[in-house]
């Protein structure tokens, strides 16, 4: 009697053969159903990551895409995306040798990659689904191809084929208390029940927890009472130090963490205009604002360069935060860029001299010059999450003549911070850099203050002034009631939008 057809050999026990009715998903084990949906969510994120990497126009980091509101099973999705990217070169080679990625399945190749990883290297749990059936049906063929690759490369297992470089050094878990919704003391009391918590000694309302602390599903995070935001990122808004009642522009605002930090520093008073060019990122910005409870933020889905500085509606703008698009080289490890195909090909911007860096730098210079040109602006912060001189010191140096002609000078944010700008021009000691050696991300901050400004006691003393504001908030009444915290946000999708 001839053996059964090959297509039936790898169907798990209890699963109906091809052509028979499948069991309903409701009858599946909860773990299988969770894995099934996690693969679909992971495939959606993987598609956006790979397309962005191929075009060098990332829609966001892996983390930001996974932890967006649209993804439900964040932990499982994050693990699947990272592991699939880690094994992607091997998966592509194995699938190519098997001939599975035909035109039919090419349209679902992201899901094929995720499912192949999960079945070959992961938990091997497969709920009903056409892609799962495809991989299970050819599992023996795929494993044979994998064994041949290992023999050819003289390694013992698939794990030996995976690059182990660029491992992430553990950093403390920083979080910022959203003082629009709660107080630092109450958050500490809550977190102390299950975690070790310390106050940061530099940034007001910032708490420090041990590395690896996972708070993504904590009720304080879900309710917008705390934001999982890096210390260096929080130093940017504190440097700007806007006063309650001011009119402020956040020029390149998404995902919105710095925007809502500004609102908290302003005690919810005054107004913030948050600009974001990218339509999808503008949605993320709006979600962040709603989550924070800030009701003094107007969002503009458009280009900051299109904002007319002579328009009377912007005549009273007194502070601008400019954190423009940059290479992200300072947070490439946190962004997990080493998992991307472009990194493995050696396409990353190693010395900051690529054409992409030059284009970014040209835009950054235009944006900074535009920010300085607003007639009533008194404080402008320029920041990047880049380590490249071309995006940092060179940009600042290029606008210094214009800044001086408009009455601006460089001030010194966080004077006690030891790491300053690269010594490439006179005055670079006023600039601020952070570095992974400091246990932080790689950030750059420059503060321009108009000499005629009389708003603050001392230029650059952002941390102390913000600390005084925070102490006043903690000793007083919270500015908003819960009834006012829902949907009080304006959104313009008018002619400022451009591709």
Give the active site residues.
Answer: 385
| Chain Cα centroid distance, residue 27 | 37
Q: How far apart are CA 39 and CA 31, in angstroms?
A: 12
Would you call the peptide bond into 201 cis, given omega within 30 degrees of 0 as the criterion? no
Neighbours of 301 (CB within 10 A): 22
Parallel/antiparallel/unpaired status of strands 173-177 and 226-227: antiparallel
* Residue 378 token pair: 């008194």
| Burial tier of 165 (Cβ tally within 10 Å: 0-12, 13-18, 19+) | exposed
Q: Report whether 239 contacts 458 (CB < 8 A).
A: no
* Residue 24 token pair: 């309903």
Residues 6+ apart with CB under 8 A from 307: 249, 275, 300, 314, 370, 496
Q: Report whether 170 contacts 210 (CB < 8 A).
A: no
Which phi and psi (to 5°) does residue 250 adopt?
A: -100, 105
Which phi and psi (to 5°) does residue 325 adopt?
A: -55, 135
3-state secondary structure of 317: strand
Q: How far apart are CA 107 and CA 13, in angstroms?
A: 29
Q: How far apart are CA 319 and CA 371, in angstroms?
A: 9
Neighbours of 260 (CB within 10 A): 30
Sheet holding 173-177, edge to edge: 198-199, 206-209, 173-177, 226-227
DSSP string spanning 249-315? EESS-TT-HHHHHHHHHTTT-SEEEEE--SHHHHHHHHHHHHHHT--SEEEE-S-GGGS-TTSGGGT
DSSP string spanning 360-394? HHHHHHHHHHHHHT-TT--EEEEEES---GGGTHH
Separation of first and last alpha carbons in the chain = 65
């Amino acid at each position: 009697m001839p053996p059964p057809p090959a297509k039936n050999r790898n169907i798990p026990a209890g699963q109906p053969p091809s052509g028979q009715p499948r069991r309903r998903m409701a009858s599946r084990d909860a773990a299988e159903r969770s894995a099934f949906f996690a693969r679909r969510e992971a495939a959606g994120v993987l598609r956006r990551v790979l397309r962005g990497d191929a075009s060098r126009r990332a829609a966001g980091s892996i983390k930001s895409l996974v932890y967006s509101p649209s993804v439900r099973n964040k932990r499982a999705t994050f693990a699947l995306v990272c592991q699939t990217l880690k094994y992607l070169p091997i998966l592509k080679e194995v699938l190519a040798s098997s001939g599975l990625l035909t035109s039919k399945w090419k349209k679902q190749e992201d899901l094929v990659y995720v499912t192949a990883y999960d079945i070959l290297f992961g938990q091997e749990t497969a709920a009903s689904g056409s892609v799962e059936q495809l991989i299970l049906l050819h599992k023996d063929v795929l494993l044979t191809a994998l064994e041949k690759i290992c023999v050819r490369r003289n390694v013992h297992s698939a794990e030996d084929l995976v690059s182990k470089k660029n491992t992430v050094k553990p950093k403390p878990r920083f979080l910022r208390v959203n003082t629009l919704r709660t107080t630092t003391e109450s958050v500490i009391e809550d977190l102390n029940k299950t975690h070790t918590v310390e106050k940061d000694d530099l940034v007001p309302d910032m708490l420090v927890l041990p590395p690896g602390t996972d708070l993504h599903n904590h009720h304080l995070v879900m309710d917008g009472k705390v934001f999982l935001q890096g210390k260096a990122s929080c130093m940017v808004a504190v440097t700007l130090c806007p006063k309650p009642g001011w009119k402020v522009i956040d020029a390149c605002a998404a995902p919105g963490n710095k925007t809502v930090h500004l609102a908290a520093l302003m005690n919810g008073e005054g107004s913030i205009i948050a600009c974001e060019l990218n339509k999808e990122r503008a949605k993320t910005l709006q979600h962040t604002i709603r989550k924070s409870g800030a009701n003094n933020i107007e969002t503009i889905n458009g280009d900051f360069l299109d904002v007319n500085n002579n328009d009377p509606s912007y005549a009273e703008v007194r502070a601008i935060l400019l954190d423009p698009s940059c290479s992200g080289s300072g947070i490439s490890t946190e962004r997990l860029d080493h998992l991307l195909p472009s990194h493995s090909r050696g396409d990353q911007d190693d010395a900051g001299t690529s054409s992409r860096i030059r284009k970014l730098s040209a835009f950054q210079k235009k944006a900074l010059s535009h920010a300085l040109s607003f007639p009533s602006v008194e404080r402008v912060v320029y920041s990047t999450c880049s380590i490249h001189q071309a995006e940092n010191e060179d940009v600042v140096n290029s606008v210094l003549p214009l800044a001086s002609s408009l009455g601006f000078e460089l001030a010194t944010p966080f004077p006690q911070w030891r790491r300053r700008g690269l010594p490439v021009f006179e005055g670079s000691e006023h600039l601020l850099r952070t570095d992974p050696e400091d246990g932080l991300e790689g950030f750059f901050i420059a503060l321009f203050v108009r000499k005629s400004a009389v708003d603050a006691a001392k230029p650059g003393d952002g941390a102390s002034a913000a600390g005084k504001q925070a102490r006043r908030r903690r000793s007083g009444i919270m500015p908003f009631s819960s009834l006012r915290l829902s949907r009080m946000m304006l959104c313009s999708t008018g002619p400022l939008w451009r591709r």
